A and B are shown apart, each in its own frame.
Chain A
Amino acid sequence: ETGVTQTPRHLVMGMTNKKSLKCEQHLGHNAMYWYKQSAKKPLELMFVYNFKEQTENNSVPSRFSPECPNSSHLFLHLHTLQPEDSALYLCASSQEWEMNTEAFFGQGTRLTVV
């Protein structure tokens, strides 16, 4: 357990559904991240929040909508997803948004879009 908790662990949703992924950290970190992990592909950085402000949106489709109400919580709201969006979604946090800072990851949410 690294202090980053993601819920739910597994999610199956239809293409017309709306769901949200939740990430929580109580490590006192100021930066939080969403990554997408697909089979046989490198982890893809989706969003970065630093001190609750979004600092990075890596050309992610608008059907993914992040929300960071405070430094401890990060959400990823999902709507009208496609089957190719099925993947493991990982949340991470770090002390600061700096290159030498270790990132701590959650266990991910395995998302299946049917």
Chain B
Amino acid sequence: AQTVTQSQPEMSVQEAETVTLSCTYDTSESDYYLFWYKQPPSRQMILVIRQEAYKQQNATENRFSVNFQKAAKSFSLKISDSQLGDAAMYFCAYTGTASKLTFGTGTRLQVTL
């Protein structure tokens, strides 16, 4: 079974600074997708960024980018120029041939002035 591990329960970053959230996963599949979801206090999960495992190029969405290391099974999220609105729970997720999203336990990100 696939597992997703987020080893940082909480992180803090100052406004305008950069922060990296860690995620590792375990799978025997070669074809899969990885996601980062954001859950603000409103509780609605929102997709931040998606990475296809067959692509070597790291995905980027504006201030959000990933560092995808397939051999190491690592999928970290970098948030640049952090904003107050980035404060939320961030979940790393995996989906493979079973088409089921497997989530990590989440990292709570605080953004300070």
Contacts and interface: CB of A to CB of B under 8 A. Distances in A.
Contact of B99 (A99, A102, A107, A110): A99
A100 B101 contact: no
**Which interface residue of B4, B45, B105 has the most chain A CB atoms within 10 A?**
B45
Interface residues of B, number: 27
Interface stretch (B11-19, B46-54, B60-68, B79-87): B46-54
A103 B99 CA distance: 11
B47 A103 contact: yes
Interface residues of A, number: 23
A97 interface: yes
Contact of A102 (B4, B47, B97, B100): B47
Contacts of B97: 99
Contact of A99 (B32, B37, B44, B45): B32
Q: Secondary structure of the A side of the interface?
A: loop
Contacts of B91: 43
Contacts of B4: 42
Contact of B105 (A41, A103, A105): A41
A70 interface: no
B39 to A, nearest CB: 8
Interface string A70-114: 000000000000000000101010000111101101111010000
Contacts of A102: 35, 47, 50
A107 B96 contact: no
Nearest to B102: A42
Interface of B: 4, 9, 32-33, 35, 37, 42-47, 50, 52, 91, 95-106
- Please name the 7 residue pairs, one residue from A and one from B, whose CB atoms are nearest each other, closest first: A105-B45, A43-B103, A99-B95, A42-B103, A107-B44, A99-B99, A108-B43
Given A97-B99, A99-B95, A103-B101, 17 more contacts: A1-B44, A40-B9, A42-B4, A43-B91, A45-B100, A56-B100, A90-B43, A90-B45, A92-B45, A98-B99, A99-B32, A99-B97, A100-B52, A105-B37, A105-B44, A108-B44, A110-B43
